[in-house]
Amino acid sequence: MKRREFLAGIAGSLALPRAALAQVDPLDPLVWVVTNGAAVKQGKVTVVLPQLADNGNSVPISITVDSPMTEADHVKSIHLYSEKNPVRNMANFYLGPRAGKAEINSRVRLAGSQKVTAVAKLSDGTFWYDTAAIVVTLSACLDES
Amino acid sequence: MAARIQVPSQAKRGEIVEIRVLIQHPMETGYRHDDVGHLIKRNVINVLSCRYNGVEVFRADLSSGISANPYVQFYTVADKSGELEFYWIDDEGQQGSERQSIQVGA
């Protein structure tokens, strides 16, 4: 093996797992229900969460999708997934060209520090996602509070 | 079920208006126990829908992952004067609805 190939191999093996981690698993049954196996690309969607939440019972979340929201090009739905909640699909929002602006604000419950993912389905049949990481000091759902 | 829904009473035609919905509801997760150790049954609002003059402009499927007293903020285009009708239902089958009128100027 040449030195160059060897180095490329090492670089590849280091880069791959990280890329794989950051991606939405299209084989995840919860995502599959929505995408039917289609690729989910990163981009267009922005999820905003606070970096730290003292209490996971009510965490403000903002999901924005970069879309003109016209009849020809709009967001059909936004699906919200949690990494650690007992119910992982937290919410689904259905929009249309009548929305004017693809932005949703809400408050979620989070069971522990985790990543929250939003998958958006566009009218052209493509899927986009974004994740946001959050540290939750006191987690919701599972404790007896 | 009490709800506070904020819709601007007046808007220009084509203006994107912000709608804020806050419903008083425990959004019981089904993972909590009461004082004597019995599991409290899950009871969450599972559907929230908004219709603008009879046409559905927004719908949300919620779950136990949404905070108690669910708050949802979304947008819609003001195209005609009329009524926005909000409707929701929880696991126990209890329904709630609310109407808000909007005046759309030229």
**Between residues B94 and A37, which one has the greater pLDDT?**
B94
Q: Is B55 exposed, middle or buried (0-12, 13-18, 19+ CB in 10 A)?
A: exposed
Provide the shortest C-alpha distance from residue B47 to chain A (in Å): 10
Residue A14 has pLDDT above 60, yes or no: no
pLDDT tens digits for range A102-120: 999 999 999 999 999 999 9
Interchain CB distance below 8 Å, B75 and A99: yes
Residue A144 has pLDDT above 80, yes or no: no
Any idea where the domains of chain A sit in the sequence?
25-138
Interchain CB distance below 8 Å, A108 and B66: yes
Contact between residue A83 and residue A134 where contact means Cβ atoms under 8 Å apart: no
Structural element, H or E, at residue A32: helix A29-35
Provide the shortest C-alpha distance from residue A104 to chain B (in Å): 5
Chain A residues touching residue B62 (CB < 8 angstroms)? 91
For residues A13-36, average pLDDT: 69
Interchain CB distance below 8 Å, B64 and A91: no
* Residue A6 pLDDT: 62
Domain spanning A25-138: CATH 2.60.40.2470: yes
pLDDT interval class at A19 (50, 70, 90):
very low
A81 vs A32: CA distance, rounded Å: 13
* Residue A142 pLDDT: 61
* Residue A8 pLDDT: 65
Provide the shortest C-alpha distance from residue B30 to chain A (in Å): 9
For residues A124-142, average pLDDT: 88
**Between residues A26 and A50, which one has the greater pLDDT?**
A50
pLDDT tens digits for range A43-87: 999 999 999 999 999 999 999 999 999 999 999 999 999 998 999
Residue A12 has pLDDT above 80, yes or no: no
Domains annotated for chain B, with CATH where assigned, are: 3-105 (2.60.40.10)
pLDDT tens digits for range B17-76: 999 999 999 999 998 888 998 999 999 999 999 999 999 999 999 999 999 999 999 999
* Residue A37 pLDDT: 86
In 3-state terms, what secondary structure has residue A63? strand
Provide the shortest C-alpha distance from residue A21 to chain B (in Å): 23
The set of long-range contacts for A69-74, using a CB threshold of 8 Å and a minimum separation of 24, is A69/A95, A69/A97, A69/A99, A69/A100, A69/A101, A69/A102, A70/A97, A71/A97, A72/A123, A73/A122, A73/A123, A73/A124, A74/A99, A74/A102, A74/A122, A74/A123
Interchain CB distance below 8 Å, B65 and A94: no
* Residue A143 pLDDT: 53
Q: How high is the mean pLDDT of chain A? A: 85
User: Number of C-alpha atoms within 13 angstroms, CB side, residue A74?
Assistant: 18
Chain B residues touching residue A98 (CB < 8 angstroms)? 52, 55, 57, 76-77, 79
Chain B residues touching residue A85 (CB < 8 angstroms)? 64-65
Query: Identity (one letter) of the amino acid at A48?
Result: V
A78 vs B61: CA distance, rounded Å: 10
Choose among A57, A98, A144: nearest Cβ to B33: A144
The answer to whether B1 contacts chain A (CB < 8 Å) is no
